[in-house]
Structure 1
Amino acid sequence: MARPRQTIGTFGEITTHKTASGRIEARARFRDWDGVARQVSATAETEAGATRALKKKLAERSLYQPASGHLTPDSPFGDLVDYWLDDIKLEDRISRTTQLLYERNMRTLVLPVFGHLTLREIGVARCDHFIKALARQSYNRAKQARVVMRLALALAVRHEIIPQNPMVSVSTLRRPPSTPNALTSLEVNAIRAVIGRWEAGEGHISGPKPDGQLGAIVEVMLGTSARIGEVLAIRRRDVDLTSALPTIGIAGTIISRQGEATFRQDHPKTARSRRIVTLPSFTAEAVRRRLAMAGDLEPDSLLLQTRNGSPFSTANVSRSLRQVLERAGITGVSPHMFRRTVATAIHDNASLQLAAELLGHTDSRITAQHYIRRNELVNPATAELLDRAFARPDN
C-alpha cells in the first residue's frame, strides 16, 4: 500500500539512537517548500534533550517557508491584511506615503467590518453590499476601500490561499456628478488684494510680520498650475529668470507624514508631472521679488522656506491662506482651486490638450473631468442665427 505523502512543512516520525560519541541523536524527515523531504537531525546528552532540540530546529526551518504558508481559507481577514502590508513593504514598488495611506484606509474603513470574518466568508455579495453602503456615505471612502480590499485579496489569490478575488465581480462605483470649481479673474484679483493688504501689515497685531511668501506662493500656483506641494519644493536651481523666456522646473514635491519631519521628495507626483514651465510676467516678477528678499540662496535651497530654512508643510500653507482670506470674508478657497482655475483659463482660451500638458496629465480626460469648469454661456452667435431663421414678418 502506498505511503501517504507529507504536506509542505510537516515532518515524519522522530527516531533516536546513540552516536559513537555517546550522545543521543534525534532524526525526522521534513518536507520543505520545494516538495523535497529531507532528513533533519539534532543531538543532545539525553533522548528528551535531543527530541527538544530537533523540534526547535524543525520549527526554525518552518520560518524559511513563505509567510503565506500559515494562511488558509479559514484564516481571519486581519491575518491576510498583516501579510499584505508586509508584502507591499518588501516589494517596495510604491512610495512610503502610499503605503501609509493604504494601511490607514484598510484599518479605518475595512477592518472594522471584515476583521472578524475568515477569508472563506468574504464573498462577492458581502463585498458588494459593503462598497455600496459606504458609497452612500462617501464616494471617495468607498473608492479607497475598494482599492485596498482588491489588492489584499488579489495577493491571497496569487499565493493560492483562496481560488478567486470576490472584489473583481463587485459592481462598478458610480462617481456622483460634480462641476469643478474655479475662480474668475475678478475673484483672483480680490484674493491678491486681500493677501497684499495682509502682507503690508494692515491689521497686524502681534507675532512675526508677514514676509511676502504667501503672495509669492499664490502667484507661482497661478503661473504654473503646479500643485501646492510642487510649488513648495521648487529649489533655486529650478528657477531660470535670465533667459528670454523665464522658466521654473517642477521636479519635486513636499511630503509630510505623521511622526516624521516634513521633507522634499526628489520627484513630483508622477513621471509626467516633471516639467519645465515658461512663466507669465506676473509670476516672474513675484519670483524676482522673492529672490531679492531671500538674498543669496544655494542651488539646492528651497525658493520658499520657513524662517529657520526648513520646508513649509502643505497643511500649514493651506491653513494660512484660509485664515487670511476668511478674515476678509472670502471662504472656500484652497490651493488646489488655483490649479483648476489655471486649467479652466487655458482650456477656455486655447485647448484642452494644452491645459492637460501644463498640468502634467497623461490623459486629457482627467483634466476635463476634474479641472475644467464648464462654461454655461452658449455662443451668442445662436441669437443672430435664430433671428435670421425665425424673424417676425413685421420686423
Structure 2
Amino acid sequence: MGRPRLSIGTFGDITTRATRSGRFEARTRFRDWDGRTRIVQATGDSAKAAESALKAKLVGRSEVHLASGHGHLTPDSPFGDLVAYWLQDIDLEGRISRTTRMLYERNMRTLVLPVFEHLTLREIGVARCDRFIKEQARISYNRAKQSRVVLRLALELAVRHEVLTANPMHHVSRIHREVRMPDALTSLEVNAIRAVIARWESGIDHVSGPRPDGQLGAIVEVMLGTSARIGEVLAIRRRDVDVTGPTPTIRIGGTIISRNGESTFRQDHPKTAKSRRIVAIPSFTAAAVRRRLAGACDLDPDSLVFHSREGTPLSTANVRRQLRQVLERAGIGGVTPHLFRRTVATAVSDNASVELAAELLGHTDTKITVQHYIQRRELVNPATAELLERAFRWDGD
C-alpha cells in the first residue's frame, strides 16, 4: 500500500546509522510547504546527538518558511501572525496603490490590532467582531468604517487559505450614520469668496512674508469650472490645458500624493479609472488659466500649472490651509475645496440632470452623486400645482 502521505510541515520516521568517519547520521522524510517530500539529514557524535541535530534542523526549516510568508496558519495562530501574512499577501498581489497599502497597515495597527492581538483566530467570532465595530462607531463613523474594512479583508484571507471556515465579519450588523444632506454654495456666496481672495491677492492688507502669487484664486476658478478634486487640480500640467481652441478644455489625468517621510509628487492617474476625463471649461476658468500660464516662466509641457516657487508640486494640505486662513480672516468659515465640488454638482443637477453631474464628477454611479454631492432643494417643482389643478379642479362652493 506504500508509505502514508505526510501532512505539510511534518516528517516521517527517523533512521540513524554510523558513518565511515565514526560519526552518526540521522535522516527522515520531510514534506515541505510546496507539497514535495524531501530527505533531510543531520550528523552528530552519537546517534542521539544526530537525531537531536536533525529535529533542530526540521524546526529551523519550518521557521524559515514561516518567516518568508509561506507559513502554515492554523485556527490557533495568534491574530498578529495573520496580520503579518495579510500584509505580505497584499504586497504579493500588488493590486492596490502604495498609499492605500500604507493606510490599511496604519488602520490595522492603530485601530484593530491593539484589541485583537492577544486572541487566536479561533477566538475571533461574530459576537466579538460585532461588539468591536459598535464600540468604534460610538467614537466615530469613520473610525468604525476603517476598522471594518481592514478586519474583514484580513479574515477573508484566512478563509481563502482554509484557516477559517467562514468570515465572522460577514455577519456583523451594518454601521449606521446620521443622514447628512450635502451642502452647496450659492452664487452670491461664491462671489463673496472670490472677492475675499482677490483682495488678499492684491496685497492691500499684506504685512510681511512672501506676497501672494495669484495661484489660490486661479485654483478656485478651476475647481468651479471642472468639479475636479483638489489633488486633481494641482496635478494639471501645461499639456493638459487647451485654452486657445473654440472650446477650451482641461484634461484631468493625475493627482497629487503626499506621504509621510516622502516628497509630494504627481501620480499619473486620478482616483479612479472614470476620473480620467476631458472637461470643457467655462470662460471664467479659461481666463484664469490663461493668466496663470502667461505669468509662468517654465514652458515645459510636463510642468505643473500650479506649483511652489521652487517648481515643486503643491500639497493639498497646504492649499486647504491657505484657503481656510484667507477666508477666516474675512469671517467666512467652513469652506473646503470639496465644497466647491459639491457646489458644481448641485448647479449642474439643478440646471440639467443628475446624470450629467455624475459624468462631470467622474462618478460611475449616480447614487454616489445624489447621496454625497447634490444639495436637496426643499422647493418642489411648481408644475405639480398645475397638474393637480387639472386633475381635481372644482367650481362649486
TM-score scaled by length of structure 2: 0.91
Residue 171 of structure 1 aligns with an amino acid whose one-letter code is S
Evaluate the alpha carbon distance shift between residue 301 and residue 50 of structure 1 in structure 2; reply closer, same or farther with a 3 A threshold: farther
Aligned to 2:9: 9
Does 1:273 pair with 2:275? yes
Residue 147 of structure 1 aligns with an amino acid whose one-letter code is V
Aligned to 2:289: 287
Name whichever of 66-75 and 136-145 sits farther off: 66-75
Aligned to 1:29: 29
Name whichever of 170-179 and 383-392 sits farther off: 383-392
1:216-244 alpha-carbon deviations (Å, 9 max, x no partner): 10000000000000000001111111211
Cα distance in 1, alignment partners of residues 208 and 394 from structure 2: 67
Residue 7 of structure 2 aligns with an amino acid whose one-letter code is T
Aligned to 1:149: 151
Name whichever of 306-315 and 128-137 sits farther off: 128-137
Cα RMSD (Å) of the superposition? 2.6
Secondary structure at the aligned position of 1:192 is classed as helix
After superposition, where does 1:148-297 map in structure 2 within 5 Å? 148-297=150-299
Cα distance in 2, alignment partners of residues 70 and 99 from structure 1: 24
Evaluate the alpha carbon distance shift between residue 175 and residue 24 of structure 1 in structure 2; reply closer, same or farther with a 3 A threshold: same
Evaluate the alpha carbon distance shift between residue 158 and residue 387 of structure 1 in structure 2; reply closer, same or farther with a 3 A threshold: closer
Maintained 8 Å contact 2:33/2:70: no
Secondary structure at the aligned position of 2:250 is classed as strand
Cα distance in 1, alignment partners of residues 259 and 197 from structure 2: 29
Deviation at 1:253, TM superposition (A): 0.3
Aligned to 1:332: 334
Cα distance in 1, alignment partners of residues 360 and 237 from structure 2: 19
Deviation at 1:28, TM superposition (A): 1.8
Aligned to 1:303: 305
TM-score scaled by length of structure 1: 0.92
Maintained 8 Å contact 2:29/2:37: yes
Deviation at 1:57, TM superposition (A): 4.8
Deviation at 1:18, TM superposition (A): 4.1
Name whichever of 7-16 and 345-354 sits farther off: 7-16
Aligned to 2:38: 38
Maintained 8 Å contact 1:68/1:159: no
Deviation at 1:251, TM superposition (A): 0.5
Deviation at 1:8, TM superposition (A): 1.7
Deviation at 1:171, TM superposition (A): 1.6
Deviation at 1:35, TM superposition (A): 4.3
Maintained 8 Å contact 2:253/2:277: yes
Cα distance in 2, alignment partners of residues 313 and 275 from structure 1: 22
Deviation at 1:31, TM superposition (A): 1.7
Cα distance in 1, alignment partners of residues 310 and 49 from structure 2: 64
Residue 144 of structure 2 aligns with an amino acid whose one-letter code is A
Cα distance in 1, alignment partners of residues 215 and 48 from structure 2: 75
Cα distance in 2, alignment partners of residues 256 and 22 from structure 1: 65
Evaluate the alpha carbon distance shift between residue 387 and residue 363 of structure 1 in structure 2; reply closer, same or farther with a 3 A threshold: closer
Structure 1 residue runs without a partner (length 5+)? none
Aligned to 1:58: 58
Cα distance in 2, alignment partners of residues 354 and 386 from structure 1: 30
